[in-house]
Structure 1
Amino acid sequence: MIQSMTGYGKAVVIFKEKKINVEIKSLNSKALDLAARIAPLYREKEMEIRQLIAKSLERGKVDFAIWIEKEAIVDAAPINAALVENYYRQLKTIASQTGIPEPADWFDTLLHLPDVTTKTDMEQLSDEEWAFALQAINEAIAALVAFRKQEGSALQLKFNEKIDNIERLLAGIEPYEKGRTEKIRQNIVKGLEQIPGVDYDKNRLEQELIYYIEKLDISEEKQRLTNHLRYFRETMNEDGRGVGKKLGFIAQEMGREINTTGSKSNQAEMQNIVVMMKDELEQIKEQVLNVL
């Protein structure tokens, strides 16, 4: 079963007073193109995160983000009351000695002085918290993979529909192909008869006609295209890496056979059918770019 490279996953876990959020999304790309936004506390685990994503997702343009939300009461920086009191006494003394007016809003002035609020950015990552964060990462990746499989199922239905259409159009060429030989012969003979005073060897004409018709024969192209269509279906049901790339190569081969068929088609009806097959194939090629 094929997978799409388009996907989205999100997970949230609660660790004590923290909410750990993980979000991951992907689009199609020839290789793995990973952009990661990681909360400062988890940056020491960046290589482990990248390896986990690469192993699970293989290909795609991937955007990953992990961030923390804390309760406001926990996240607020504590105020150093002793230092505020010390600043207040010093400013009162300076104002008294120099005659400088005291501030109208003491709190606004004091809270802007150095080190009044104690920063807590030096938090250390514990093994317990990392286990919770890793759980969220794995859940988000699993959600994205499930999304990819769902999109892959929709793509497979679309591919089967397009393959059915090409097979139907290919079968539609046969009636025109059968009557083509006699029509070519009649046109050549008619053209020769319209030239006054021309005498021709009928046996030689038949030999040349056979050679000409063999050059226009599309039996091999039809057989190879039929084989490619069958192989495309079989490949869609394969598991493992590189299915999208393999489908792309098969689609290229299908295009070669359809183009050769078109170049050998000397009837408007056959050429119209070839144009419709090309249209179906182009839609396959566009969507194959999204297959993992």
Structure 2
Amino acid sequence: MLLSMTGYGRATRTDGGKTYTAELRALNSKQSDLRLRTNLNLQAHELELRKSVLAATKRGKVEMSVDIDDEAGSGKVKVDLPLLAAISHEVYFRLNTYGSRPLPEHTMDGLVPALLRTPGIIETGAGQLAANDWENIQATVEDALQRLLAYRQQEGQVLSEDLSGSVRSILELLARVDDYSEQRIDAVRERMERHLAEYLGRANVDKNRYEQEVLFYLEKMDINEEKVRLAQNCDYFLEILENEDDVKGRKLTFISQELGREINTLGAKSYSADLQRLVVNMKEHLEMIKEQLANVA
């Protein structure tokens, strides 16, 4: 099973005249991160909420919003009138006492909007959690998480099919390498033998030493090890892709880096235009793999 890092989940729940809403949006990220947006007082439960969401999403950046819509109106704004009156009286007294002249009776009317911004004057119950609010929030977030995970699994299935197809395409191209390997060696051997024949007439040429150099050069052109390692890494990639692990993006990324090394070495040793074309096609599929892995959890 493969999980995509991107996804979306939203859930609502109604209980006692209140509607609880949780919305989750997951995005690509190398690290796990959660951004919580809410006007609720969740300080006592925020750590627990973060741990449960990050444990479920496993990897990626998650944006979550939690809200409560109170149809009963318990979240209406309340003004502390006694406190407002006391502050107004104190302000008026000091301004009238220390001012250069007595203040008109309606002076405080213009100061009321400013006084209303004083901490504690205006209270709202919207951010305060009632006895059963936390249980409902937990249940709503869990429902949203299930929808998010279902979305990620659905996208992950598509990603898995694309990745598998690209790796199998590399294996198919690798199987065609042998069609040009012998041709490549024969062409190089003939060119060297022609050069060797030209040098045979020179008295200062050591034939045995020259033949040793030819053998050494042909050994450097050998690509059997690269073909074996590339095939093994492709098989390993498919094995990891099909196992039951939820989080496998990092491991698949490491394997894709090994694929790149072997393909690059094949290209460096190709000495053949036909073989080079195969290598270019392999690199094309490898780039597609890397692009897809950027979205795998």
Q: Residues 192 and 68 from structure 1, CA distance in 2 versus in 1: closer, same or farther, beyond 3 angstroms?
A: same
From 186, 189, 202, the counterpart of 2:190: 186
**Contact persistence 2:20–2:66 (CA under 8 A):** yes
Q: Residues 59 and 269 from structure 1, CA distance in 2 versus in 1: closer, same or farther, beyond 3 angstroms?
A: same
Question: For the residues of structure 2 that align with 1:257 and 1:202, how far apart are their CA atoms?
Answer: 35
Q: Report the CA distance between 1:283 and its aligned residue.
A: 1.3
Q: Report the CA distance between 1:180 and its aligned residue.
A: 1.9
Paired residue type of 2:175: A
Tell me, what secondary structure is at the counterpart of 2:5?
Answer: coil
Tell me, what secondary structure is at the counterpart of 1:155?
Answer: helix
Matches within 5 A, 1:137-176: 137-176=141-180
Which residue in 2 is equivalent to 1:130? 134
Asked if residue 243 in structure 1 is aligned to residue 234 in structure 2, the reply is no
Paired residue type of 2:69: E
Superimposed CA distance per residue, residues 42-82 of structure 1 (whole angstroms, 9 cap, x where no aligned partner): 343111110111211121111111012233866544799xx
Considering only aligned residues, what root-mean-square deviation do their CA atoms show, in Å? 3.4
Tell me, what secondary structure is at the counterpart of 1:68?
Answer: strand
Q: Residues 17 and 42 from structure 1, CA distance in 2 versus in 1: closer, same or farther, beyond 3 angstroms?
A: farther
Question: For the residues of structure 1 that align with 2:252 and 2:272, how far apart are their CA atoms?
Answer: 31
Tell me, what secondary structure is at the counterpart of 1:240?
Answer: coil
Matches within 5 A, 1:255-270: 255-270=260-275
Paired residue type of 1:170: L
Paired residue type of 1:284: I
Which residue in 1 is equivalent to 2:71? 71
Question: For the residues of structure 2 that align with 1:122 and 1:241, how far apart are their CA atoms?
Answer: 38
From 219, 238, 254, the counterpart of 2:224: 219
Q: Report the CA distance between 1:124 and its aligned residue.
A: 4.5
Superimposed CA distance per residue, residues 137-196 of structure 1 (whole angstroms, 9 cap, x where no aligned partner): 001111111111111111100001101110111112111102222211111122344569
From 274, 279, 292, the counterpart of 2:284: 279
Sequence identity percentage: 38
TM-score in terms of structure 2 length:
0.79
Paired residue type of 2:268: S
Tell me, what secondary structure is at the counterpart of 1:36?
Answer: strand
Alignment length (residue pairs) = 273
Superimposed CA distance per residue, residues 190-218 of structure 1 (whole angstroms, 9 cap, x where no aligned partner): 23445694476766655433322111000
240-249 or 118-127: bigger deviation: 118-127
Superimposed CA distance per residue, residues 259-290 of structure 1 (whole angstroms, 9 cap, x where no aligned partner): 11111111111112111111111111121122
Q: Residues 289 and 123 from structure 1, CA distance in 2 versus in 1: closer, same or farther, beyond 3 angstroms?
A: closer
Tell me, what secondary structure is at the counterpart of 2:125?
Answer: coil
Asked if residue 6 in structure 1 is aligned to residue 6 in structure 2, the reply is yes
Question: For the residues of structure 2 that align with 1:130 and 1:179, how far apart are their CA atoms?
Answer: 73
**Contact persistence 1:38–1:46 (CA under 8 A):** no
Question: For the residues of structure 2 that align with 1:28 and 1:128, how far apart are their CA atoms?
Answer: 34
Superimposed CA distance per residue, residues 1-31 of structure 1 (whole angstroms, 9 cap, x where no aligned partner): 1111111111111122221111111112122
Question: For the residues of structure 1 that align with 2:218 and 2:279, how far apart are their CA atoms?
Answer: 19
TM-score in terms of structure 1 length:
0.80
Which residue in 2 is equivalent to 1:56? 56
Tell me, what secondary structure is at the counterpart of 2:239?
Answer: helix
Paired residue type of 1:269: D
Question: For the residues of structure 1 that align with 2:6 and 2:226, how far apart are their CA atoms?
Answer: 35
Q: Residues 18 and 214 from structure 1, CA distance in 2 versus in 1: closer, same or farther, beyond 3 angstroms?
A: same
Matches within 5 A, 1:74-153: 75-77=75-77, 119-121=123-125, 124-153=128-157
Question: For the residues of structure 2 that align with 1:112 and 1:203, how far apart are their CA atoms?
Answer: 101
Which residue in 2 is equivalent to 1:31? 31
Tell me, what secondary structure is at the counterpart of 1:42?
Answer: coil
Paired residue type of 2:142: N
Paired residue type of 2:18: K
Question: For the residues of structure 2 that align with 1:194 and 1:46, how far apart are their CA atoms?
Answer: 83
